[in-house]
Structure 1
Amino acid sequence: MSLIRQSSFQEKEAVVSGSLYLVATPIGNLEDMTFRAVRILKECDIIAAEDTRQTRKLLTHFDISPSMLFSYHEHNKAASGPELIRYIIEGKNLALVSDAGLPAISDPGSDLVKLALEAGVRVIPIPGANAALTALIASGISTERFTFVGFLPRERKDIKSLLSTLKSSQGTLLFYESPHRVIKTLGFLLESLGNRRIVLARELTKRYEEWVRGSVEECLTWLESHPPIGEYVLVVDGASEEEEQKLRDAWWQELSLEDHVDRYEKEGMSRKDAMKKVAADRGVTKRDIYNSLL
């Protein structure tokens, strides 16, 4: 790996190609848009957006008329990414926006950034609103250390596997979730992490912004009588020092799953009982252990 230095603010005469600007957009309230973001969007030749229909509404509100509005999303990034980089190399300045918040967070923008850097293109962030950090700072849960998880995987075994790696983390955990999956996700959190303190923050900066603070079980009960509406950020308390130390000191910590199961089998357990015991040790389901050993 070779060292690469970038100066974001060079004299224009020294810049041969254009630049990639990562422009934050409002997460709800249009007043969250910064003066700098509006200026950059007006000055850029091309704006690339996840959903051009949504972005057109924003551009119309701020009287922004780009020369080109380009569609760039998860399903066309393989073809669109190189084309966008070609425009930049030819001298065009390109602004990348997401539907809401910071581009490259839980969207394909990170792939475009990698392509740009590989091509020697300057990448310049234009900061602004972010749902995860907005929820965190007002949650009342520790902000000293945190892990952004984003959306959980779709498959149950992948969800359980991911959450098992987070069980001993002392830092606050930040998740994104849709109204259609939030109840199911809380169930996974309760099963894998226990009945921790949690904050549900929905519709952030919008008219119906709402905060629900309590334990995971209390929040599940709340949602039974208040059906989920809008996008959620889940702010989950990290593991206690005692929980973290207990897991760190576990004798099986350095063993692979196969060796862990094998240890119990050598003690006389059947493979089925050994897998059940390993699942209990690691705080996952027996099905997770079985699937991992297939």
Structure 2
Amino acid sequence: MSASFAKALEAAHDAAGSQNNPASTLYVVATPIGNLADISLRALHVLAKVDAVACEDTRHTQQLLRAYGLDRPGSQLLAVHQHNEAEAAQTVIARLAQGERVAYVSDAGTPAISDPGARLVAAVRQASYRVLPLPGASSVTTALSASGMTGEDGFVFSGFLPSKSGERERAVQALAQESRAVVLLEAPHRIEALAQALSVLGERRITVGRELTKQFEQIETVTAQALPGWLAEKPDRQRGEFVLVLHDAPVAESTGEGLRVLQLLLPELPLKTAVKLAAEITGKSKNELYDKALALKKA
């Protein structure tokens, strides 16, 4: 453990030591997606306090804990991954029944987001034990925050698209009908195939987040049709873990259509109702239509 994390661990106990951490509880703990300094003080304190740590990969987690000075014997590390999650959940529940505190961590980021953990959480809840989440790093929100995506209707998280080409193409066809922003994940050995599939989306913008929070982090925005060429320009661009933000689809400009619909609806309906219906009919922004409606009312 470096001296810097020794200070962090001390600060964690000072900051979170007085908080209540109930027994017989599963603590779902977010861990860094790359930069070790992104761990929260609360996470450090809880990882030091729990009786056992359930994890996606015991060797990976042991290295992570060791970096923070939280080395644990192998008996306190429980393997809970996609191949044994249902069975391993019963082991965790048995420990909770004995009054233990158990933390669950995935290999990186927030558990149960395209990672194991959801079945474990569901089983623990079904057994009537408490699940306490500790928020922290997430590749999804990290990529969104740097994308400049300004869609008013939120976003959709799709994770990994199917690996088989036919299924992947059908999934992309469905994305073409989705007007909201979409967050995708991809591994380096499949990123070229995904880029080719997404290229049919033409001018729709995609923000590529590669190796987020790590030394060689890269964040670029290109059009869907330019993505394969961008990846091919430099071999390094195909390395690392990827998060892609497919920006929300631009609404086609209509020649006064929103104004025309408002002029028809406002005499018959309350302002907010007229704006809502006009937005649904024309696909225009509610905020823009609301401003137009106010102007019409004043006129």
Is residue 200–residue 213 contact of structure 1 (8 Å, CA) maintained in 2?
yes
Indicate the residue corresponding to 1:289 in structure 2.
none
Cα distance in 1 for residues equivalent to 2:118 and 2:195:
28
Indicate the residue corresponding to 1:234 in structure 2.
244
Q: Which amino acid aligns with 1:238?
A: D
Matched, 1:171 2:180: yes
Indicate the residue corresponding to 1:187 in structure 2.
196
More helix by share: 2
Is residue 62–residue 72 contact of structure 2 (8 Å, CA) maintained in 1?
no
Indicate the residue corresponding to 1:221 in structure 2.
229
Change (3 A) 1:102 1:11: closer
Is residue 33–residue 108 contact of structure 2 (8 Å, CA) maintained in 1?
yes
Matched, 1:126 2:139: no
Cα distance in 2 for residues equivalent to 1:222 and 1:155:
23
Q: How many Å apart are 1:195 and its aligned residue?
A: 3.6
Cα RMSD (Å) of the superposition? Answer: 2.1
Q: Which amino acid aligns with 1:236?
A: L
Indicate the residue corresponding to 2:148 in structure 1.
140
Is residue 149–residue 248 contact of structure 2 (8 Å, CA) maintained in 1?
no
Is residue 147–residue 207 contact of structure 2 (8 Å, CA) maintained in 1?
yes
Is residue 86–residue 120 contact of structure 2 (8 Å, CA) maintained in 1?
no
Indicate the residue corresponding to 1:158 in structure 2.
167
Change (3 A) 1:143 1:54: farther
Is residue 42–residue 66 contact of structure 1 (8 Å, CA) maintained in 2?
no
Question: For structure 1, which segment, 103-112 or 83-92, has the greater mean C-alpha deviation from structure 2 after superposition?
Answer: 83-92
Q: SS of the residue aligned with 2:147? A: coil
Q: How many Å apart are 1:11 and its aligned residue?
A: 7.2
Unpaired runs of at least 5, structure 1 = 1-9, 244-294
Task: Normalising by structure 1, report the TM-score.
Answer: 0.73
Is residue 49–residue 71 contact of structure 1 (8 Å, CA) maintained in 2?
yes
Indicate the residue corresponding to 1:57 in structure 2.
63
Q: How many Å apart are 1:143 and its aligned residue?
A: 5.4
Cα distance in 2 for residues equivalent to 1:106 and 1:234:
14
Is residue 42–residue 65 contact of structure 1 (8 Å, CA) maintained in 2?
no
Q: Which amino acid aligns with 2:178?
A: S
Unpaired runs of at least 5, structure 2 = 1-18, 254-299
Give 1:23's match in structure 2, choosing from 2, 21, 29: 29
Number of residue-to-residue matches in the alignment: 231
Task: Normalising by structure 2, report the TM-score.
Answer: 0.72
Q: Which amino acid aligns with 2:228?
A: L
Q: SS of the residue aligned with 1:213? A: strand
Is residue 202–residue 223 contact of structure 2 (8 Å, CA) maintained in 1?
no
Question: For structure 1, which segment, 221-230 or 165-174, has the greater mean C-alpha deviation from structure 2 after superposition?
Answer: 165-174
Cα distance in 2 for residues equivalent to 1:221 and 1:48:
42
Cα distance in 2 for residues equivalent to 1:85 and 1:239:
45
Cα distance in 2 for residues equivalent to 1:221 and 1:161:
22
Q: How many Å apart are 1:75 and its aligned residue?
A: 1.1
Cα distance in 1 for residues equivalent to 2:25 and 2:151:
33
Q: Which amino acid aligns with 2:144?
A: L
Q: Which amino acid aligns with 1:53?
A: R
Cα distance in 2 for residues equivalent to 1:223 and 1:11:
48
Aligned-residue sequence identity (percent) comes to 40
Q: How many Å apart are 1:37 and its aligned residue?
A: 0.3
CA deviations over 1:225-253 (Å, ceiling 9, x no partner): 2120100100111233349xxxxxxxxxx
